[in-house]
Amino acid sequence: MRFTISQRFFFDAAHTLKREIEAEGSRRIHGHTYHAEVWLAGERDPATGMVIDLGLLRRRLDAVRDRLDHRLLDEVPGLHPPTLENLCLFIAEALGELQASLARVRVWREALGDSCTLEF
């Protein structure tokens, strides 16, 4: 049997974005509350009963959140331009050895209804 577990977090950050549509507002520094969810899939370890200890996943996601929260995303190393797509990829790559179990990463902005999902 394969199980899928997930963990969510959020962060507040500012950014700019060069776009053709809604260009003026996007080019100015502006901020959002971002939500992210990471899914890991795998077989349950018979000794622990877990795919992964959620405490370990939470610790890793806390480190990712620290790199993004209350930052200007334009200045975050490895994240450019700061699109929803690139945020999904940034989070996935920041999971290090946990990437082997990665099934999905989703980033969304609840207030705007925007969302992006990266599937593995």
Residue 62's SS3 state is helix
pLDDT in the model for residue 27: 79
pLDDT tens, per residue, the chain with 120 residues: 999 999 999 999 999 988 777 766 677 899 999 999 999 999 999 999 999 999 999 999 999 999 999 999 999 999 989 999 999 999 999 999 998 899 999 999 999 999 999 999
pLDDT in the model for residue 65: 98
Q: CA-CA distance, 80 to 16, in Å (whole number)?
A: 10
CATH of the domain at 91: 3.30.479.10
Name the residue range of residue 7's domain: 3-119
Q: Give the closest residue to 117 by CA, choosing from 36, 57, 41.
A: 36
pLDDT in the model for residue 18: 84
In total, how many domains does the chain have? 1
pLDDT in the model for residue 25: 63
pLDDT in the model for residue 23: 62
Phi-psi region of 112 (alpha: psi -120 to 50; beta: other; left: phi over 0): alpha
pLDDT in the model for residue 20: 75
Q: Global pTM?
A: 0.93
